[in-house]
């Protein structure tokens, strides 16, 4: 298990270092709250175990910005500068055989592209929920 974690970490580190430069964002969906979700098709990598993907969520309305701020407040996270929030880029790992996923990291940006906040501590894996962006890519990348 430790070997798998170390290999995943090293692969993610290499992947993250190149993802920002080679982004090819493909629109996946839009919400009624004014958020658009994109997948970076250029940096997506797959293996026998699963896939690493980058997701960009863009707030295109003031309601979407307010929702992001409320979510941060619920977690007691800092909100300074978030009145100018524009988008989040999140890296995720999909584990095909277990039908699980986990966020590896995220960074929030303002309209000028300046980072507002980030979290680089990988979360625990959780089951993939049906009819979500992660489920869509689970089916596509894991051939389900």
CATH of the domain at 84: 2.40.128
Q: Supply the range of the domain harboring residue 124.
A: 2-141
The predicted pLDDT at position 11 comes to: 47
Side-chain half-sphere of 100: how many Cα atoms within 13 Å? 9
Q: How many domains does the chain have?
A: 1
Q: Which of 29, 47, 48 shows the shortest CA–CA distance to 39? A: 29
The predicted pLDDT at position 9 comes to: 47
The predicted pLDDT at position 70 comes to: 95
The predicted pLDDT at position 121 comes to: 84
Task: Give average pLDDT by consecutive 10-residue segment, the chain, 144 residues.
Answer: 47 45 82 92 88 94 95 93 96 94 95 93 92 87 82
The predicted pLDDT at position 110 comes to: 97
CA angle 85, 86, 89 (to 5 degrees): 110
The predicted pLDDT at position 63 comes to: 95
């Amino acid at each position: 298990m430790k070997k798998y974690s170390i290999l995943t970490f090293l692969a993610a580190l290499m992947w993250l270092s190149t993802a920002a430069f080679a982004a090819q964002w493909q629109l996946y969906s839009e919400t009624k709250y004014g958020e658009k979700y994109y997948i970076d098709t250029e940096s997506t990598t797959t293996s026998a175990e699963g896939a690493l993907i980058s997701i960009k969520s863009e707030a295109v309305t003031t309601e979407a910005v307010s929702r992001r701020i409320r979510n941060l407040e619920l977690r007691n996270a800092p909100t300074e500068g978030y009145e100018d929030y524009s988008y989040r880029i999140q890296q995720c790992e999909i584990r095909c055989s277990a039908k699980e996923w986990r966020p590896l990291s995220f960074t929030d940006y303002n309209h000028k592209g300046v980072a507002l906040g980030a979290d680089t501590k990988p979360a625990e894996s959780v089951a993939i929920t049906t009819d979500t962006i992660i489920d869509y890519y689970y089916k596509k990348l894991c051939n389900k």
